[in-house]
Structure 1
Amino acid sequence: MVLEFGRPLRSQRTPIPGLIVVDLPVHGDARGWFKENWQRQKMTQDAVGLPDFGPVQNNISFNDAVGTTRGIHAEPWDKYVSVATGRIFGAWVDLRAGDTFGAVFTAELDPSKAIFVPRGVGNSYQTLEPDTAYTYLVNDHWSPEATYTFLNLADETVAIDWPIPLDQVEISDKDKNHPKLAEVEPMGPRRILVTGAAGQLGRALRQEFGEHPWIEYATRSELDLSSPDLPSARRWREYGTIINAAGYTKVDAAETDAGRADAWTGNAASVRALAQIATAHGITLVHVSSDYVFDGRKDSPYSEDDAVTPLSVYGQTKAAGDALATTVPHHYVIRTSWVIGDGSNFVRTMADLAARGVDPRVVDDQMGRLTFTVDIAAAIRKLLDTGAPSGIYNVTGSGAPATWCDIARDVFRITGHDPARVTGVSTEDYFASASSPVAPRPRNSVLDLSRAEAQGLPTPPWSARLQEYLAIVER
């Protein structure tokens, strides 16, 4: 084998998405050679484009004889493969669910080439020289519980053109008995965990993402985010995304001693635990936040870059949760306001009062826009599907801001009742007779939607969504 010294570091895409071949600079002379086999800073830059996949284990497979052939194994982790000495013919087959299932790529590797193999792509090779050492970094520790997907080396569908015929080489009995492509169950994507599955947003997320083996919808009774055992509660390396729709939402109760503790646990400590897990295992964290992180004193819509200025304990805990979520390398913080979905909420309450002949007093000095959970769920799906840049995104309904009183009157009008039955009152007057602590509310809850709209996130007019929602509620 003669190595070519001094080639630049560069990469080559293949027909299999995410499978990337890398030319490695090899430096040598008559004494031998040296190469940087994996150099995180260089290889994750745009010019090369390898993912920052976080390897945790390094393995070496040594092969004595020419023709040693290893089976097509798709593993539930990413791997970065190179040859330390010798030469191989490698074959990779996409065994992931999707349009490229069954796609094949082949290449020869010597110490001057490496290849990044994404999770679910079958990896196999045949040695072309004696004493070949095949090395690979992986981003999960091997576990007997890991689920592999296999393909028969001789499958006629993928028709790999092995340099040495398979009937002339050493193959294990296990590899000989792997299924043909028509019998292979494709490997699904990394798992998605949705917390707070019983809430309004949790139900909308279930409707948006559907029921699949790789999606888990967890209620608090099924997964306690405050438990010290959370880091070992799941095999977290199997997860690609956590959507945190859980949280403490009792705004006024948070002003009490007991409620304060619960709010900090639910909105901050739990987010810290999820952020640590997401960071450690390369998981994307989606966290849902609130307009209550602002004091409402600004006379224009709040942008994602405005400094947080919470008035209440609830707002303080949500602001803390935002800060913790943004420590995760891959994160989306969704700030929203005045949320309406499948469950008990302001719109349902007003519709019920209208039907029962009750004439309510409703606050008329707080401004904002309604946000419907179907749109929050769709926005989260869009961010994940498009791989949008990490960051904070305001997601609410669009259109002219309104007060709670305006919205209540709209509910009365749409449901066929006289909107004049709704009386507007100030926040102070509304809570004047309260016997328990009342949290201060932001008077301006209007969020700027420029970033969301630039990313193509759904922000339909809240007034149109309100009519659609009431049409369903009234059935």
Structure 2
Amino acid sequence: MSLPTLETTPIPGLVVLRLDLREDARGWFKENWQREKMIALGLPDFGPVQNNMSFNAKRGTTRGIHTEPWDKFVSVANGRAFGAWVDMREGESFGAVFTVELDPATAVFVPRGVGNSYQTLEDGVTYSYLVNEHWRPATPYPALDLADATAAIAWPIPLTEAEISDKDRTNPSLADAERMAPKKTLIIGANGQLGRALNAEFPGSDLVDMVTAEGVTVLDLTDTAAVAAWPWHEYALVLNAAAYTAVDTAETIEGRRIAWAANATAPATLARLAAEHHFTLVHYSSEYVFDGTAELHTEDEPLSPLGVYAQTKAAGDIAVGLAPRHYLVRTSWVIGDGKNFVRTMQTLAGNGVSPSVVDDQLGRLTFTTELTRATKHLLDVGAAFGTYNLSNGGKVTSWHEIAAEVYRLSGRSSDDVSPTSTAEYTAGKDMAPRPTNSVLDLAKIEATGFVPEDAFTALARYCTS
């Protein structure tokens, strides 16, 4: 079978496919839906879960303009039908109309929010549609009057002669019709420093966390009942900024349980939900999934976590990788709005303290504003799903060099920060192991067109904010 061809239409996302129909004396054969070939043409991998068939006994049977909240792939199994579509989505294309005649060699992909209708041109036409959500009783959706003067659909058979249901005769005009809102964005871990930064980058998102706050709803991803009750089908994008980051406490009995729940179990739950509800999952990980022995950590480096925190993050990475549509953003040395290394150094500088800071752990800072900017970039350019390293750019530094720069920016001498080794700093302390080299290779995300900002440029701005 040869590849079908794809034709765009005035309605964004609605496309016509001309299928390869193989005919002989016995009849015909076609590949009505072939995932690999359709995706190669540019059709979204929309993941159909239900196939519906509608048999129409009489010529002129006309089905109403319905806008169910899911994607459809429509075709006819036999005969001919006149297909009509009206964009019912919020935005500039609202009210756009497209029509085409459907026969066995023609199919149409209908994105969520586009009203779908047809009129049979022969007796005994069977209409087929694949959908990517299971039908739910009493699901509300916009509908449109078949005779709406604004849409002005040129029905081949006058509606006065057509077979139409009583319900479809009472649908509203375009001026009065409901507009379908796009699917939403959900930020998990909205109270944290990354969650707050994501909320600024993705305004209007739904916000959840383990603890309530203004505008934030409580959602525990380890609570089976709460997860089952949440309306996951309403979301196109889920940003998981939740994590347990108490590296040393994770080594304790209680800390271990919490770390595994937050960093491994919850991401595994989200990966399953992403597959089931077709949303894009963005999850944030850490260079701690590596032991720090490599000179430069690439995205495909085998995982080699050291402590419990690191092990739980690695487990979460593996789980998220199973989501069909995912971005796993792996980062290091995160600095944002809240308690962190830079703010601690500023406080010490202001209090006249001269600390010792390790100089044998190497990496680059990552500001939450850079994380959110990179996230928006990956989504906007439609980058290939998968794992991306992300930190600020510039030279590789030690924690000691960063602390010295913070002191300089705070009006203190950089010499007031003395260097020490990790072995000296941790001697006699109950601390989890840490990778000595946290330097991430940024080539993959740079290849998408993203240019990381120099870490010390961002640091100077952060210290004066």
Q: Same fold, TM exceeding 0.5?
A: yes
Query: Contact 1:375/1:458 (CA < 8 Å) preserved in 2?
Result: no
Matched, 1:256 2:252: yes
- Residue 371 of structure 1 and its aligned partner are, at CA, apart by 0.7
Letter in 2 for 1:397: N
Q: Which runs of 4+ in 1 moved over 6 A?
A: none
- Which whole-Å deviations, capped at 9, do the CAs of 1:396-432 have from their partners, x for residues lacking one? 0101121112111211221222333222222222222
Residue 127 of structure 2 corresponds to 134
Q: Counterpart amino acid of 1:377?
A: T
Residue number in structure 1 paired with 2:312: 317
2:365 — aligned with what?
A: 370
Aligned to 2:64: 71
1:305 and 2:300 matched? yes
Match 2:21 to one of 17, 23, 26? 26
SS of equivalent to 1:229: helix
Asked if the contact 2:16–2:109 (Cα under 8 Å) also holds between the matched residues in 1, the reply is yes
- Which amino acid in 1 is paired with 2:367? F
Instruction: Flag the 1:345–1:189 CA change in 2: closer, same or farther, 3 A.
Output: same
| Correspondence for 1:3 | none
Q: What is the CA–CA distance in structure 2 between the aligned matches of 1:113 and 1:337, rounded to whole Å?
A: 50
Secondary structure at the aligned position of 2:175 is classed as helix
Per-residue CA shift, 1:170-214, capped at 9, x if unaligned? 334433433333334432222322211111110011000001xxx
- 1:8–1:23 contact (8 Å) kept in structure 2: no
Could you tell me which runs of 5 or more consecutive residues in structure 2 were left unpaired when the two chains were aligned.
212-217
Specify the alignment match of 1:219 in structure 2: 209
Aligned residue number for residue 399 of structure 1: 394
Deviation at 1:465, TM superposition (A): 0.9
| Deviations, residues 323-346 of structure 1 (Å, cap 9, x unaligned) | 211122221110111111111111
User: Following TM superposition, by how much is the alpha carbon of 1:50 offset from its aligned partner in structure 2, in angstroms?
Assistant: 3.0
Deviation at 1:230, TM superposition (A): 5.6
The one of 223, 236, 239 equivalent to 1:240 is 236
Structure 1 counterpart of 2:421: 426
The answer to whether structure 1 residue 101 and structure 2 residue 97 are counterparts is: no
Q: Which letter maps to 1:87?
A: R
C-alpha distance in 2, partners of 1:49/1:224? 37
C-alpha RMSD of the superposition: 2.1
Match of 2:290 among 289, 294, 301: 294
User: Is 1:166 paired with 2:159?
Assistant: yes
Q: How high is the TM-score relative to the length of structure 2?
A: 0.92
Q: Which runs of 5+ in 1 are unaligned?
A: 1-5
Report what 2:215 is aligned to. none
What displacement does 1:118 show?
Answer: 1.1
SS at match of 1:181: coil
Conserved? CA contact 1:7–1:26, under 8 Å: no
TM-score (norm 1): 0.91
Shift of 1:156: 2.9
> Any idea what SS the aligned residue of 1:352 has?
helix
- Aligned residue for 1:183, secondary structure, equals coil
How far did residue 471 of structure 1 move? 1.8
Q: Count matched residues.
A: 459
Answer yes or no: is 1:272 the counterpart of 2:260. no
Task: Confirm or deny: 8 A CA contact 2:292 2:438 kept in the other structure.
Answer: yes
Distance in 1, Cα, partners of 2:380 & 2:152: 32
- Taking the aligned partners of 1:183 and 1:423, their CA distance within structure 2 comes to 70
Q: Is the 8 A contact 2:3 2:37 kept in 1?
A: no
